[in-house]
Structure 1
Amino acid sequence: MGDFGVELARLRTRSGWTVRQLARRAGVSEGQISNLESGRRNPTSSVAAACDAALGADGELIRLAETTRRGTADRSLVEVEPLVAGYGRILEQLKDIGRSTGPNFVDAALRSAARVLTDAAPRAEAHRRHEVWLLASRVAEYTGWMAQEAGNPAEALRWTDLAVRWGANGGDETMAAYALVRKASIAEHRGDPAAIVLAGQAAAHPATTPLIRAHAARREAQGHAHLGDHGACHDALQRSRDHAREADRPGVHWGPRIENGSPRLIEASCMIGLRQFEQATDLFASELRHRPERPPDSNSRTRFEIRQATALAGIDRLDRACHLVEALLPTIRILDSATIRTELGQFAGHARGRAATPGQRSLIETAAALAHGRG
């Protein structure tokens, strides 16, 4: 089960290799690997064998290459069950990889998976075609998130719009509501107050769900916090908690699991925007203490720990703040995430101007350089 390009990219990212590293090990060019992963070229027998050997795929890539060549002109009916089951598993694996290694490792595989699914959907059994479109929509939504993480908001918006279109093809309009949450997130990380308006539109959308309202209220709360509006922020946090309690219902659940951003961690994040640093410090300490040191979602954990450091800097506990950030630097470099860089920039902004030792000043400037994509 699987398209050669998707499987090649999945095996490469699982191995932790860049395109260049795989190309060197397989003895082929970087361009060949990129073209195969994106689906622009079909594999030859020799290249498939070289990649299979380099990745230790036990003949799976060779078999897929043969299937790909035989099926190049095949427009026969697609069997939905193995397609959806196989690519559903691939999507979850790519999400796990994206959470722990960053967007650059999964981009090619996600795009290839989207191409396979949208090509297959029109050829699927009519009464099950919607399943393929819905899975394609989920792939597009996550591809958009990874584009945002890679620092490309225009591409993030393009993939989000594709997710809306493909979700509608599958008979699910709720992605149109969640797309407004995604757009609010993009606006928020640009410092655009339109994030509050977009979050409100998501909550009011005719196709919204309690889960989407919970996500929207969180975005709204953080937007109000940045503007220093205590009352509106706390009101939105309460609505988020209320909607989250209603969110456990069947159907497609867009966005991250609501429990991944604990309500108290979101509240702590808002306290930073409201400059209530001591309350934020206490909330972060309480919540992060009970969480595993190395969860599958390294991205979320890293963002919250940088926010914890920002809160500590706000109450002049710079030694502890710098210690936290210094320990995170290897993970920050691996993830290479635009949203994490935004958090790092906010830490540097709060830490600068505080009384600091030479070592602390050096660490703050390192953080600032990383926030701007340097270092």
Structure 2
Amino acid sequence: MEPADGTAETVLPGGSAGTRLPPGDFGVVLATLRARRGWSVRESARRANVSEGQICNLESGARNPTPAVAAACDAAFGTGGKLVELAGGCRRGARAGDAVDADPVIAGYERVLRELRDIGRSTGPRFVTASMKSITRVLTDAGSHAADEQRSRIWLLASRFAEYTGWMAQEAGNPAEALRWTNLAVRWGTQGGDETVAAYALVRRAFIAQHRGDTDAAIQFADRAAGHPAANPVIRAHAARRAAQGHARRGDARACGEALERFRSHAAEGADGRTPHWGPRIENGNPRLIEASCMLSLRRFEQAADLFAAEHRCRPTSPSDSNSRARFAVRQATALAGTSRLDDACQIIEATLPVIKRIDSATVRVELIRFVEQARTRRASPGQLALIDASAALATG
């Protein structure tokens, strides 16, 4: 995987892409390698035969690696001597009680967060959750040792990690854990001087309420997010999207349409080229796909099917975002089943089931349940019935 900022990676002589080192100092490289393997601090320490504290101190920059520790990490990660070589260029004299220079820590972990997001979108929560939790531990420890003027930046980065950890907990089907991490994100964001995460946390609560079937609560949280004093156009766009989907599920087409208009307006205002501080990039919230999803909830199956088909023809979902591709593919299949085009619907589901198995997303499984419920109202062939039953087993298992 290419680094998010375009910096060239170090490649082992004669090696393959799997033996490349990401950019950064020893601690950042160690954290990135650990994230790519989905190892926790404990697992990394066990494999390298060092203590968990040593791993945390190395990743936070509080300690430099000794030759022996660098060699142990090199062996654990199979980097062919490159970690030992990198350790030789580390700055000297760092002690656990010294103030940590936040700049390389922040720059490095921002790259790690981008990479973890890419991994999460393509492979699901189980491959990134351990790394996310471990890195928040490293960052909160680094924040307590950073210089005063840099401390807030580390807390803000810790907050971003916590927010994404909450999203992964939601994807893993654990809403209580998702809320716990979201609350930590709010607390750490406040410590860093940023109140916007408190507004975005209400959007997350709206999504959680939506997936547990509490439509009224989802709309209320979305409205509170839109009206929060710290809400920016991006957060208001996310809030309007949740409100639109909530009104659609209640069957209120007028309120849904008004919320969709707000979404388009706020999304246009917020899509100014800057990366949003919280949540997914607003340009990924495709207006036509969101409208199609709302039409599906309103049971306007023909309109939804046409919108999904038109959007997929002119602008396919990013192939690297397996989660979004699977989610919208299942919605399109549900719309097709609603129009009695069960054969077309089953072709989409058959092609998508392997992806759904791989990413193991709770939010996608909810969509699969909706497909099964709709498909079972239609006359199906034996082969289609077998596919519907397989979908039901995957959605509930």
TM-score of Structure 1 vs Structure 2, range by shorter chain: 0.7 to 0.9
Alignment pair present for 1:152 and 2:174: yes
Instruction: Name the structure 2 match of 1:280.
Output: 304
1:261, distance to aligned residue in structure 2 (A): 2.1
Instruction: Name the structure 1 match of 2:61.
Output: none
Decide whether aligned partners of structure 1 residues 48 and 251 sit closer, same or farther in structure 2, where only a CA change above 3 A counts. closer
**Is the 1:6–1:110 contact (alpha carbons within 8 Å) kept by the matching residues of 2?**
no
Instruction: Name the structure 2 match of 1:176.
Output: 198
Aligned mates of 1:165, 1:127 — CA distance in 2: 19
Instruction: Name the structure 2 match of 1:161.
Output: 183
Q: Residue 12 of structure 1 is aligned with which of 8, 23, 37?
A: 37
**Is the 2:317–2:324 contact (alpha carbons within 8 Å) kept by the matching residues of 1?**
no
The TM-score with structure 1 as length reference comes to 0.87
Instruction: Name the structure 1 match of 2:385.
Output: 361
Instruction: Name the structure 2 match of 1:323.
Output: 347
Aligned mates of 2:108, 2:42 — CA distance in 1: 27
1:115, distance to aligned residue in structure 2 (A): 0.8
Alignment pair present for 1:255 and 2:279: yes
Aligned mates of 1:129, 1:31 — CA distance in 2: 26
Alignment pair present for 1:90 and 2:112: yes
Q: Residue 238 of structure 1 is aligned with which of 261, 267, 271?
A: 261
The TM-score with structure 2 as length reference comes to 0.83
**Is the 1:199–1:219 contact (alpha carbons within 8 Å) kept by the matching residues of 2?**
yes
Instruction: Name the structure 1 match of 2:214.
Output: 192
Decide whether aligned partners of structure 1 residues 40 and 302 sit closer, same or farther in structure 2, where only a CA change above 3 A counts. same
Instruction: Name the structure 1 match of 2:236.
Output: 213
CA-to-aligned-CA distance 1:240-263 (integer Å, 9 cap, x gap)? 111111114568521111121200
Decide whether aligned partners of structure 1 residues 35 and 308 sit closer, same or farther in structure 2, where only a CA change above 3 A counts. farther
Greater shift, 287-296 or 197-206, is seen at 287-296
1:124, distance to aligned residue in structure 2 (A): 1.4
Decide whether aligned partners of structure 1 residues 50 and 76 sit closer, same or farther in structure 2, where only a CA change above 3 A counts. closer
Cα RMSD of the aligned pairs, angstroms, is 2.8
Aligned mates of 1:4, 1:331 — CA distance in 2: 29
**Is the 1:4–1:64 contact (alpha carbons within 8 Å) kept by the matching residues of 2?**
no
Decide whether aligned partners of structure 1 residues 64 and 185 sit closer, same or farther in structure 2, where only a CA change above 3 A counts. farther
Instruction: For structure 2, list consecutive stretches of 5 or more residues without a partner in the other structure.
Output: 1-24, 56-65
Number of residue pairs matched by the alignment: 357
Q: Residue 245 of structure 2 is aligned with which of 211, 217, 222?
A: 222
CA-to-aligned-CA distance 1:248-289 (integer Å, 9 cap, x gap)? 456852111112120010000001110000000000001112
Identical amino acids, percent of aligned pairs: 60
1:62, distance to aligned residue in structure 2 (A): 5.5
Aligned mates of 1:34, 1:265 — CA distance in 2: 44
**Is the 1:141–1:160 contact (alpha carbons within 8 Å) kept by the matching residues of 2?**
yes
Aligned mates of 2:275, 2:281 — CA distance in 1: 14
1:35, distance to aligned residue in structure 2 (A): 6.2
Instruction: Name the structure 2 match of 1:81.
Output: 103
Code of the aligned partner of 2:209? A
Instruction: For structure 1, list consecutive stretches of 5 or more residues without a partner in the other structure.
Output: 20-29
Instruction: Name the structure 1 match of 2:337.
Output: 313
Aligned mates of 1:155, 1:191 — CA distance in 2: 18
Aligned mates of 2:212, 2:87 — CA distance in 1: 43
**Is the 2:47–2:76 contact (alpha carbons within 8 Å) kept by the matching residues of 1?**
no
Greater shift, 46-55 or 196-205, is seen at 46-55
- Residue pairs, 1:299-310, within 5 angstroms: 299-310=323-334
Instruction: Name the structure 2 match of 1:25.
Output: none
Q: Residue 143 of structure 1 is aligned with which of 165, 184, 200?
A: 165
CA-to-aligned-CA distance 1:50-106 (integer Å, 9 cap, x gap)? 7634643233556799999x9997121111110100000000000000000000000
**Is the 1:11–1:55 contact (alpha carbons within 8 Å) kept by the matching residues of 2?**
no
1:130, distance to aligned residue in structure 2 (A): 1.5
1:11, distance to aligned residue in structure 2 (A): 3.5
**Is the 1:140–1:159 contact (alpha carbons within 8 Å) kept by the matching residues of 2?**
yes
Aligned mates of 2:46, 2:206 — CA distance in 1: 34
**Is the 1:271–1:279 contact (alpha carbons within 8 Å) kept by the matching residues of 2?**
yes
Code of the aligned partner of 2:167? W
Instruction: Name the structure 1 match of 2:19.
Output: none
Aligned mates of 2:246, 2:268 — CA distance in 1: 22
Aligned mates of 1:239, 1:223 — CA distance in 2: 14
Instruction: Name the structure 1 match of 2:356.
Output: 332
Instruction: Name the structure 2 match of 1:115.
Output: 137
**Is the 2:159–2:184 contact (alpha carbons within 8 Å) kept by the matching residues of 1?**
yes
**Is the 1:181–1:198 contact (alpha carbons within 8 Å) kept by the matching residues of 2?**
yes
